[in-house]
């Protein structure tokens, strides 16, 4: 049996400054062609093909080392540490099952269905002043839309959506070493402000009379959930549900602008919208890397992974595994993907809590946009974020060609 450190593996350059766009794809798909495993030039190993990624994410012998990674960066106490300690991603075993169980009913597919009218109303409002011509799609639509929906889900006033979006961005930054090192005071301020905000929402007379906070209030009052646990749960939802959805919608519209024939196919047959969302998720997953720490040694495909091995599961390559998908590098909303769902929402115990909500939000957005605009083209340079963390776009200038009279959405 060979231990992972003894293998001669291709090297993944995690510090490559061009780790986004086509350069990111080139590096990852080149690695996938050579092996199912690569060595990171920083720390640990990258797992590349679908079977192995799925195996690692479902394994009970490995867990997400969220707090360890933060502590490695020198943050061992204070509001950022406290915030991340209680995040669902950082919890394991029984405490994780108990807390996740308390919020599960807010995120069922049925619950997402009931939110579709609110999604359409917010999209109509956001698109009201977007006429024919050029628009910076990220700032105008992709960013405010999921922040508004999280306000709906949490039971916060919609006017607070910009603040929620801002906190979500900074809390999500706890997973990005550059931001933890560069902007610790900003992240800390967001953690404190968000904590105080949810504390106020939890008060019985607050504006949160429906939604997640109102659903959790009885458990807090009965002592089954501490206020700190409740704030962490709401924080998990905020941190998980804003940047991810906005990034996925932005990449989706970028893909359509780059593949006009796919937009035309969708306009020809809007029943393809759910399949189109799956194809966007498959082709450009916005959480490309999911980290796991081995807690109990295991062997996979004859390779031994000792305790404390750090594994980075790569959804980008898993979703283009040629052993699973025919023509994986082709973006095609009509392709038969054999019912194999992409790994973009993870797998195993930490499988995305908000998947049904995210899918519904993406479906509604694409459906409204494809009904409204006959054509979508790039109107300038796409500004990519880097792939580690949530892989989004800073800017997406689009030229939109109208299909319906201005003002209808």
Write a three-state SS string for 155-182: CCCHHHHHHHHHHHHHHHHHHCHHHHHH
Of 88, 112, 123, 234, the residue at the interface with ligand HEM (CB under 6 A) is 88
Between 10 and 162, whose beta carbon lies closer to ligand HEM? 162
Q: At what angle do helices 243-258 and 144-154 cross, to 10 degrees?
A: 150
Touching ligand HEM, residues 326-345 (CB under 6 A):
344-345
Judged by beta carbon, residue 101 or residue 405, the one nearer ligand HEM is: 101
Is 365 a residue that touches ligand HEM (CB under 6 A)? no
Place of tokens 């009052």: 221
User: 122-181: which residues touch ligand HEM (CB under 6 A)?
Assistant: none
Residue position matching structure tokens 């196919």 = 265
For ligand HEM, the closer CB: 132 or 362: 362
Residue 378 sits at the vertex; the CA angle it makes with 383 and 22, to the nearest 5 degrees, is: 50
Query: Residue 168 and residue 147: Cα distance in Å, rounded?
Result: 8
66 close to 214: Cβ distance less than 8 angstroms: no
Q: Which of 245, 250, 309, 316 binds ligand HEM (CB under 6 A)?
A: 245
Residue 387 interacting with ligand HEM (CB under 6 A): no
Structure tokens at 88: 């669902």
Nearer to ligand HEM, 34 or 60 (CB): 60
Q: Which is nearer to ligand HEM, 38 or 168 (CB)?
A: 168
Whether the CB-CB separation of 246 and 142 falls below 8 Å is answered with yes
Q: Exactly one of 211, 252, 328, 346 binds ligand HEM (CB under 6 A); which one?
A: 346
Stretch of 24-32, 164-172, 283-291, 364-372 lying at the interface with ligand HEM (CB under 6 A): 283-291
Which of 165, 152, 146, 157 is closest to 111 using CA atoms?
152
Helices 212-221 and 227-241 meet at what angle, rounded to 10?
160
x/- track of binding to ligand HEM for residues 52-71 (CB under 6 A): ------------x-------
- Of 17-25, 161-169, 241-249, 316-324, the window that binds ligand HEM (rule: CB under 6 A) is 241-249
Question: Which of residues 266 and 390 has its CB atom nearest to ligand HEM in the complex?
Answer: 390
Q: Name which position in 211, 241, 388, 392 contacts ligand HEM (CB under 6 A).
A: 241
The dihedral through the CA atoms of 263, 265, 267, 270 has a sign that is negative
Q: What is the rounded CA–CA span in Å between residue 66 and residue 175?
A: 8
Cα 257 to its chain centre, rounded Å, is: 21
User: Residue of minimal CB distance from ligand HEM?
Assistant: 354
With CB under 6 A as the rule, give the number of residues binding ligand HEM.
24
Q: Which helix (H) or strand (E) covers residue 62, if one does?
A: strand 62-63
Interface with ligand HEM includes 107 (CB under 6 A)? Answer: yes
Give the shortest CB-278-to-ligand HEM separation in angstroms: 11
Calpha distance 185→149 (Å, rounded): 27
Question: How far is CA 61 from each of CA 65, 66, 97, 302, rounded to the nearest angstrom?
Answer: 12, 16, 17, 16
What's the min distance (Å) between Cβ of 8 and ligand HEM?
Answer: 29
Q: Single out the segment in contact with ligand HEM by CB under 6 A; choices: 34-42, 165-173, 256-264, 349-357.
A: 349-357
CB of 351 to ligand HEM, least distance (A): 6
| Residue 364 Cβ vs ligand HEM, minimum distance, rounded to whole Å | 13
Contact residues: ligand HEM, CB under 6 A: 64, 88-89, 100, 107, 236-237, 240-241, 244-245, 248, 286-287, 290, 344-346, 350, 352-354, 357-358
């Amino acid at each position: 049996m060979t231990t992972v450190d003894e293998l001669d593996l291709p090297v993944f350059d995690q510090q490559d400054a061009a780790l986004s766009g086509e350069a990111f794809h080139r590096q990852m798909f080149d690695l996938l062609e050579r092996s199912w495993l690569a060595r990171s030039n920083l720390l640990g190993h990258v797992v590349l093909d679908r079977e192995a990624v799925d195996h690692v994410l479902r394994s009970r012998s490995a867990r997400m080392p969220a707090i360890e990674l933060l502590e490695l960066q020198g943050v061992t106490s204070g509001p950022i540490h406290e915030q991340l300690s209680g995040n669902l991603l950082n919890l394991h075993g029984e405490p994780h099952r108990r807390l996740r169980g308390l919020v599960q009913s807010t995120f069922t597919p049925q619950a997402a269905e009931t939110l579709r009218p609110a999604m359409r109303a917010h999209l109509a409002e956001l698109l009201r002043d977007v006429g024919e011509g050029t628009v910076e799609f990220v700032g105008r639509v992709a960013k405010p839309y999921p922040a508004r929906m999280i306000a709906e889900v949490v039971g916060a006033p919609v006017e607070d959506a910009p603040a929620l979006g801002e906190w979500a961005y900074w809390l999500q930054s706890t997973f990005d070493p550059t931001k933890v090192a560069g902007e610790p005071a900003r992240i800390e301020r967001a953690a404190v402000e968000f904590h105080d905000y949810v504390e106020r929402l939890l008060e019985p007379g607050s504006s949160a009379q429906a939604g997640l906070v109102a659903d959790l209030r009885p458990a807090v009052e009965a002592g089954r959930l501490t206020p700190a646990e409740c704030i962490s749960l709401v924080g998990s939802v905020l941190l998980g549900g804003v940047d991810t959805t906005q990034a996925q919608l932005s990449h989706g519209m970028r893909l359509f602008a780059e593949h006009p024939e796919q937009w035309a196919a969708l306009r020809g047959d809007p029943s393809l919208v759910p399949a189109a969302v799956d194809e966007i998720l498959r082709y450009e997953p916005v959480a490309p890397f999911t980290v796991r720490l081995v807690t109990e040694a295991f062997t996979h495909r004859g390779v031994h992974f000792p305790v404390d091995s750090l594994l980075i599961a790569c959804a980008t390559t898993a979703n283009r595994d040629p052993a699973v998908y025919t023509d994986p590098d082709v973006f095609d909303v009509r392709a038969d993907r054999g019912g194999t769902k992409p790994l973009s929402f993870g797998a195993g115990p930490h499988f995305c809590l908000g998947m049904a909500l995210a899918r519904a939000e993406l479906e509604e957005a694409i459906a409204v946009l494809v009904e409204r605009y006959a054509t979508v083209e790039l109107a300038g340079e796409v500004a990519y974020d880097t792939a580690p963390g949530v892989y989004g776009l800073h800017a997406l200038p689009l030229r939109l060609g109208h299909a319906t009279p201005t003002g209808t959405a």
